[in-house]
Amino acid sequence: MFLSISFRLRVEVEALNMVEAMGAYSRHRTVSLLKPRGEGRGYRLIIAPAVSGQAVAYGYMKSLVELAAKKNLPLCDQCRNYEVKGGFIKHGTDSKADLEKLVRECIVEDLTGFMVAEANIRRTSPIQFSYMVPDIDSSDVAIEPQFHVRAPMPGQKPQPFQVEAGTAIYTLGVALDIDKIGVVPGVEGKPKKVVNNRVERVKTAIQAVANLIEGLSFGAKKARYLPIYDVVGAIAALSHPVPFMVSPARVGRDGSYISKTLARASNYVDLFKDMNEEICIVYMDKEGLAIDVKAINVRVDRADDVSELIAKVLKIIEEKVRD
């Protein structure tokens, strides 16, 4: 099975991902986005605030550690002590590292991948994150420098500094290859190996997505720049046996991401009917975009918030995934 989710987030006054300091000025991460000019006149570039996929993935790894520790799921010492070590080292210098052992003994290594060049082994991450970027088709964006003054030390003058803050309707994409969780692929004619707690790992992997979003476990500078934050929409699709990606959670002249995803899913199921393709979709919508929701040969359900959406996704998965 393959899970694809796109979130739509209203985030105001955030400094979740800064890139550099120029003297007393801290810059927000930015990206270049294409915005249609309208009436078939091409596109123009917009510079907009963003949060990198690496920053989001780091928050996801933190969520995994916290959940795994509470559930007594396996964690290696490096991941368990990531705060002391200054991050997730990923076994980069262990020349005796073993692929199967790393996957079996750590859920973080299993789900987020690693590369150990010295041991000539690697694991592609089953979970993928996009950059968090604004929906510039349906809303404006802002990057504003905020003026601050640090309290002076004795004998010093007050120290002014500025921090760029971003405000936007952000979109975030997440994809998870469920079939790869807890599975070590076979090599040189050897059969693949599956961990004995695979079902619980799958459940925890998806619960960690809910914690990432609902718990705002990603991003920096939250001590004084905790953003005003709300999830206003999301759509998730479970597909089997051929992976299907939902449309980005954007709203444009050609409709909303919900209607686009449903139309695409119906056509996708028809295209792969010789392979018995199945797609199940769960969506949430606080903006009133879901009008006349229907799809052919696609199971569709609605949720009121992220937690309910994830719970309904898990219920579908639990019907199909076995140890």
Residue 43 has pLDDT above 80, yes or no: yes
Q: Mean of the pLDDT values across residues 296-323?
A: 89
Burial environment of residue 268 by CB neighbours within 10 A (0 to 12, 13 to 18, 19 or more): buried
| Range with lowest mean pLDDT among 117-131, 269-283, 297-311 | 117-131
Q: Which residues pair with 256 in a beta bridge?
A: 251
Q: Mean of the pLDDT values across residues 101-108?
A: 91
Question: With b meaning 16 or more CB within 10 Å and e meaning fewer, what string describes 228-259?
Answer: ebebebbbbbbbbeeebbbbbbbbeeeebbbb
Q: What's this model's pTM, rounded to 2 decimal places?
A: 0.92
Check residue 323 and give its pLDDT: 45
Check residue 92 and give its pLDDT: 58
d(CA 53, CA 131): 4
Residue 78 has pLDDT above 90, yes or no: no
Q: Mean of the pLDDT values across residues 24-28?
A: 94
Query: pLDDT class for 117, splitting at 50, 70, 90?
Result: confident
8 Å CB contact between 318 and 1: no
Residue 14 has pLDDT above 80, yes or no: yes
